[in-house]
A = this chain, B = another copy of it.
Amino acid sequence: MSVTLTEENYLKAIYHISQMTKTDVSTNAIAEKIDAKASSVTDMLKKLSDKGFITYIKYKGVNLTEKGRLTAVDIIRKHRLWEVFLVDKLNFSWDEVHDVAEQLEHIKSPKLIKELDAFLDFPTHDPHGDPIPDKDGQIKRTDKIILSKAEVGGTYKCVGVQDSSTDFLKYLDKHQIQIGTELTVKDIEDFDHSMTFTIHQHNMTMSKAITNNIYVKKLQ
């Protein structure tokens, strides 16, 4: 009862969507994420249900079973470990890693991941600030908030991004924002909720479209 590459991608997509929405995952949402037609998704959902990875009720949507969740989280663990490898050891920038990690995450070898984890010195977060699940599928909860919810006068540390599209990461690189960057909120515009910060001794303003995609942790 092995898991095919395609099944793995579906499980990962379902996991990510359910993390977002906290409700039953719809066929259309999966179709959009996977970039396939809804009819193809329906076929696959039957298969995943037969194999015990999801609970599937027609027209109602799906949920991961514990078995499905563990499988999805294991793939995410591999993906994020490979991302650390690419950035720390092979000089990839954080906007270049995603496509390659997407391939590497499907390599099957428990020893490979165990040794890679040790070689990277047991990292807890990937280059985008997302936590790396441990080998038992536990994910460390972070007390991060979305930057758009920050308060005037507060100082925050950048811990991750919501959108990891190349375009967005390039924007951050251009403005020298990365994991660990500290920023202080100077002003919030009532009209469009654009925010002005002090970053690296400079002032800069970001639109809500930007601040909605950056996670920060408040510095006490």
Q: Which residues of A contact B (CB under 8 A)?
A: 86, 89-92, 96, 99-100, 103-104, 107-109, 111-112, 115-116, 119
**Hey, which chain B residues are within 8 Å of A108, CB to CB?**
103
**Hey, which chain B residues are within 8 Å of A89, CB to CB?**
119
Measured CA separation A108–B106 after assembly (Å): 13
Q: Judging by beta carbons under 8 Å apart, are A116 and B90 in contact?
A: yes
**The one of B90, B92, B100 that contacts A107, using a Cβ cutoff of 8 Å:** B100
**Hey, which chain B residues are within 8 Å of A91, CB to CB?**
115
**The one of B96, B107, B115, B119 that contacts A103, using a Cβ cutoff of 8 Å:** B107
The residue in chain B whose Cβ has the minimal distance to the Cβ of A115 is: B90
The residue in chain B whose Cβ has the minimal distance to the Cβ of A103 is: B107
Interface centre among A89, A96, A99, A112 (most CB of B within 10 A): A112
Interface centre among A86, A104, A109, A116 (most CB of B within 10 A): A109
